[in-house]
Amino acid sequence: MKILEVQHLNKSFGGLQAINDLSLGFEEGEMSSIIGPNGAGKTTFFNLLTGYLRLDSGKILFKNQDISKLPNYKIGRMGINRSFQISHVCPSLTVFENLRASILSKRKKTFKFFTNVGGMKDIEDEVMSSLDDINLKDLAGTPATQLPHGALKSLDIGMALAMDPQIALLDEPTAGMPSGDRMRIMDLIQRLWKQKGLTIVFVEHDMDVVFAFSQKIRVLNYGSLIADGTPEEVSQNPVVIEAYLGDED
């Protein structure tokens, strides 16, 4: 079953057509990637899916329900959660406090006004176990600003995954990392994907990462889908080779 599907999606900025009549769908339980040259519309696509941008025309269906007019926080509540290309964490809050935001929101505990949040044992346990999932347990008390880049990325991803999303959209989870760290963080994502039975879509530039961790690959170019298939199919697709893999860099 397709958990998330878009039909004839269009979005332009001024005169620039960022997304051009795009139709595709994501299978439940799949771990897939979106690739494409810079400016292909990948981040715009994520922003549309999560309500951070409004589409010009088309449909976004989440479990067959049109969510294209919903505000971003409602989409976040429905179980479509994202991480950001440039880390979006709370810089002066600790790792623990950052992740706690996800857990409090997920457990619908945010409108409690007179309970001491420090005394909520169940919340604390859940935060710690989520931190354990992303290997940040030892850094729980560290303010996010003091984290090394890799840990910051993990935290950003962890905040999305701690929501127990029905589908997680990860925007360049390995951006700015040395290649050894890239594999490590992708291993971690893959492990959580299997363990929790998540559906994951990620945007990525590193082809080694893409081919190692995707069941399906979608290739965007100028806002249109030019290929959709298994890594093997995509790597042999002449259009892709022409448009993208051929003149990489």
Partner 1 sequence: MWGIIFAASLIILSFVYPSEFLINLFTQILIMGLFATSLNLLVGYTGMVSFGHAGFFGVGAYTAAVILQKYSTSVGFAFGTTIVFSAIAALIIGSFCIRLGSIYFAMLTLAFNQIIYIIVIRWTDMTGGDQGLIGGIPLPGFLSTQRAYFIFTVIVVAASLVICKLVVDSPFGAILKVIRENADRAYSLGIRVKSYQLIVFVMAGIFGGISGALMSLSISGAYPDFCYWAKSAEPIFMVVVGGMNSFLGPLLGAAIFKILIAYSTMYTNLWGLIIGGVLVLIILLVRKGLADYVMEFVAARSVDGPKNLLSPKKTG
- Which chain residues interact with partner 1 by CB under 8 A? 50, 52, 71-74, 76-77, 81-82, 84, 88-94, 96-98, 100-102, 104-106, 109-118, 120, 123, 128, 140-141, 159-160, 163
At residue 23's C-alpha, the angle toward residues 212 and 242, to 5°, is: 55
Which C-beta is closer to partner 1: that of 106 or that of 218? Answer: 106
Which C-beta is closer to partner 1: that of 159 or that of 192? Answer: 159
How far apart are CB 189 and partner 1 at their closest, in Å? 17
Q: In DSSP terms, which residues pair with 168 in a beta bridge?
A: 81, 200
CA 244 to chain centre: 22
Which C-beta is closer to partner 1: that of 21 or that of 97? Answer: 97
Q: In DSSP terms, which residues pair with 92 in a beta bridge?
A: none
Which C-beta is closer to partner 1: that of 45 or that of 244? Answer: 45
Which C-beta is closer to partner 1: that of 28 or that of 97? Answer: 97
Which parts of the chain fold into alpha helices (H)?
42-49, 72-78, 95-106, 121-133, 149-161, 179-196, 207-213, 231-236, 238-240
How far apart are CB 152 and partner 1 at their closest, in Å? 13
How far apart are CB 161 and partner 1 at their closest, in Å? 12
Q: What is the DSSP letter of 56?
A: S
Asked whether the CA dihedral 95, 137, 104, 118 is positive or negative, the reply is: negative
How far apart are CB 52 and partner 1 at their closest, in Å? 8
Contact indicator for 56, 75 with CB cutoff of 8 Å: no
Contact indicator for 200, 192 with CB cutoff of 8 Å: no
How far apart are CB 184 and partner 1 at their closest, in Å? 23
Altogether, the residues listed in the chain come to a count of: 249
